[in-house]
């Protein structure tokens, strides 16, 4: 699953794991439920088993997404990618996340975003080209399941070229 050439890009779009209902607390502060932590750990184990190491990780600054990322990363102890937490992933839509991705350094061939619905599924649907796995595109159009991760790749010389129909969606990992 690692990009074979310098112009190859791998993009992982993950929805946070199952969160607590959050009764009485602000949405931004909702923590992961135990099931969500397990989902995130399984995604981390999957990435480790595939020898995928994100060089750049963009994470929403909400509690449930930061906890999701922490559980994913815990399953990959040798991970040394750059991680940033961004409010735009929480409050923005697909366009804002796409703008963040277009700013990623070209040396970072493997990028992961940990965010929310409907943004993750909207972005996956937008980026998926006609060669994409039809079942995965259909799932993205319905919505990314909690803890689910879309796996997309393609040949782009620069992240700044990322646009509609630019990547092939291979699968949606459902923990």
Q: In terms of pTM, does the model score above 0.75? A: yes
Question: Looking at the domain assignment, is residue 115 inside a domain?
Answer: yes
Question: Looking at the domain assignment, is residue 99 inside a domain?
Answer: yes
Question: Looking at the domain assignment, is residue 148 inside a domain?
Answer: yes
pLDDT tens string, the chain, 175 residues long: the values are: 444 465 799 999 999 999 998 777 899 999 999 999 999 999 999 999 999 999 999 999 999 999 999 999 999 988 889 999 999 999 999 999 999 999 999 999 999 999 999 999 999 999 999 999 999 999 999 999 999 999 999 999 999 999 999 999 999 999 9
* Residue 14, domain CATH: 3.40.50.1240
Question: Looking at the domain assignment, is residue 1 inside a domain?
Answer: no
Question: Which are the contacts of 34, defined by CB distance < 8 A and separation ≥ 6?
Answer: none
pLDDT of residue 7: 73
pLDDT of residue 28: 94
Question: Looking at the domain assignment, is residue 3 inside a domain?
Answer: no
Pairing of strands 149-155, 8-15: antiparallel
Domains contained in the chain, number: 1
Bridge partners, 169 (sequence order):
152
3-state secondary structure of 48: helix
pLDDT of residue 3: 43
Question: Looking at the domain assignment, is residue 98 inside a domain?
Answer: yes
pLDDT of residue 137: 97
Question: Looking at the domain assignment, is residue 2 inside a domain?
Answer: no
Note down the domain range covering 102: 8-20+28-173
DSSP 108-133: --EEEEEE-TTHHHHHHHHHB-TTS-
Question: Looking at the domain assignment, is residue 121 inside a domain?
Answer: yes
């Amino acid at each position: 699953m690692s990009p074979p050439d310098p112009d190859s890009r791998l993009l992982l779009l993950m929805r946070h794991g199952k969160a607590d209902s959050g009764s009485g607390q602000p949405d931004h502060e909702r923590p992961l439920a135990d099931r969500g932590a397990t989902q995130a750990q399984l995604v981390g184990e999957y990435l480790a088993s595939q020898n995928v190491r994100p060089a750049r990780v963009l994470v929403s600054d909400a509690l449930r997404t930061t906890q999701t990322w922490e559980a994913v990363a815990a399953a990959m102890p040798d991970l040394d990618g750059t991680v940033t937490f961004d409010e735009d992933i929480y409050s923005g839509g697909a366009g804002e996340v796409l703008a963040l991705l277009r700013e990623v350094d070209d040396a970072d061939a493997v990028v992961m975003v940990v965010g929310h619905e409907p943004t993750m599924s909207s972005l996956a649907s937008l980026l998926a080209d006609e060669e994409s796995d039809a079942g995965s595109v259909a799932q993205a159009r319905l919505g990314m399941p909690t803890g689910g991760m879309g796996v997309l790749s393609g040949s782009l010389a620069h992240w700044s070229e990322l646009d509609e129909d630019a990547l092939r969606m291979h699968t949606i990992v459902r923990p």
